[in-house]
């Protein structure tokens, strides 16, 4: 095994229970970390901007809420869960002035540490506990008694027990129930960005869209194209997720399996692989990070244009129509 995996019995719950924890931000990850840690018996406070829309929601969930600077000041472990592009400013203004020697600064993604947008002082620990799943699933699985696996990393070990703290944090949010993988900030940052760009989000949406457009262009009804290229995706992925590609292949027809082996490598071909290598290079050399941060400074101009384009695409309109006509999502 090329990686080290830890489980609950490898973690010391007392390390995190003995700390005053501040969760900065109450979005997708923030609400999940704050609530899971609280339910695990930790001393949690949530740091938010005055006037934040999440303030009431966090209080209604039974959490202590206070301004970011106060939370950072009170806490000895500060987990930064505001959007990556806002973290440098929030850190400079409201967190850095309140860091004490021996404090722990924590992240759920390595972006700002790895690319150098945040440089903490040498006398604090810098750790990461990155759930390998969306925040709402991190919360849901915790309440169901399971947990989303985490990557844990240490960039700075000022106190000598930064790994214990990182593992203990993973225990607190439920990740150790399923397994915690030891990694580095570089590995987490580059792999996470590559995965979401090339496969999970970028690759997937473009694949589904291209399939849909090909069928519609050839005169097939968009509703059928939606079912074939979009709706069935989840069922296929569920089979792979639960039991492997071989089980998915066992479950589909021989006809489908034969077509899979013929067509797959024609669609994801050497040109696609070369494009993936280029995407990885842009991530590794920091070009992606610079482009992203530049667009953020520009008010997310490019990002918003792209978002509006996909929101207005026929596949989204078709999906909305279909999801309102069929019953599989009604109870959700």
CA pair distance 242, 170, nearest whole angstrom:
23
* Cβ-proximal residue to ligand NAD, closest one: 27
Query: Binding to Mg ion by residue 85, rule CB under 5 A?
Result: no
CA pair distance 109, 289, nearest whole angstrom:
13
For ligand NAD, the binding residues (CB under 6 A) are 24-30, 48-49, 52, 54, 68, 81-84, 86, 90, 108-109, 130-131, 134-135
Closer to ligand NAD by Cβ: residue 29 or 36: 29
Q: State which of positions 173-192 bind Mg ion (CB under 5 A).
A: 192
Query: Binding to Mg ion by residue 73, rule CB under 5 A?
Result: no
Closer to ligand NAD by Cβ: residue 175 or 222: 175
Catalytic residue list contains 31: no
- Site size for Mg ion, by CB under 5 A? 1
Shortest approach of ligand NAD to residue 236 CB, angstroms?
22
Closer to Mg ion by Cβ: residue 156 or 189: 189
DSSP 131: E
Give CA separation, 306 vs 125, 143, 272, 285, 289, in Å: 38, 35, 21, 24, 18
Catalytic residue among 31, 33, 98, 109: 109
Strands, E assignment, 98-247: 104-107, 125-131, 150-156, 180-182
**Residues in contact with Mg ion, shown as a per-residue x/- string from 191 to 220 under the rule CB under 5 A:** -x----------------------------
Give CA separation, 62 vs 8, 130, 137, in Å: 26, 24, 20
CB 47 within 8 A of CB 72: yes
Strand-pairing partners, residue 6, are: 180
Shortest approach of Mg ion to residue 192 CB, angstroms?
4
Positions annotated as catalytic residues are 109
């Amino acid at each position: 095994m090329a990686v080290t995996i830890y489980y609950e019995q490898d973690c010391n719950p007392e390390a995190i229970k003995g700390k005053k924890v501040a969760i900065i931000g109450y979005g997708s990850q923030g609400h999940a970390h704050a609530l899971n840690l609280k339910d695990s018996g930790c001393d949690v406070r949530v740091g938010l901007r005055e006037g934040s829309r999440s303030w009431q929601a966090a209080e209604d969930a039974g959490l202590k809420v206070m301004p970011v600077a106060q939370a950072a000041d009170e806490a000895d472990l500060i987990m930064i869960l505001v959007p990556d592009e806002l973290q440098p400013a929030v850190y400079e203004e409201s967190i850095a002035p309140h860091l004490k020697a021996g404090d722990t600064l924590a992240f759920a993604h390595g972006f700002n540490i790895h690319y150098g947008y945040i440089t903490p002082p040498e006398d604090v620990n810098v750790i990461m506990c990155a759930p390998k799943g969306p925040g709402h699933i991190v919360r849901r699985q915790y309440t169901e008694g399971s947990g989303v696996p985490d990557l844990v990393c240490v960039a700075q070990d000022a106190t000598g027990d930064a790994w214990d703290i990182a593992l203990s944090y993973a225990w607190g949010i439920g990740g150790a129930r399923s397994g915690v993988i030891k990694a580095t900030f570089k590995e987490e940052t580059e792999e996470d960005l590559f995965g979401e760009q090339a496969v999970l989000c970028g690759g997937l949406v473009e694949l589904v869209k291209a399939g849909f457009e090909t069928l519609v262009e050839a005169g097939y009804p968009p509703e059928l194209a939606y079912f074939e290229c979009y709706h069935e995706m989840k069922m296929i992925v569920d089979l792979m997720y639960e039991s492997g590609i071989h089980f998915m292949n066992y479950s589909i027809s021989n006809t489908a399996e034969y077509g899979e082996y013929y067509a797959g490598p024609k669609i994801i071909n050497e040109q696609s692989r070369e494009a993936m290598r280029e995407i990885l290079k842009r991530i590794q050399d920091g070009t992606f990070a610079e482009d992203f941060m530049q667009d953020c400074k520009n008010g997310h101009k490019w990002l918003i244009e792209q978002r509006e384009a996909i929101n207005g695409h026929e596949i989204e309109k078709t999906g909305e129509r279909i999801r309102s006509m069929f019953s599989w999502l009604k109870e959700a």
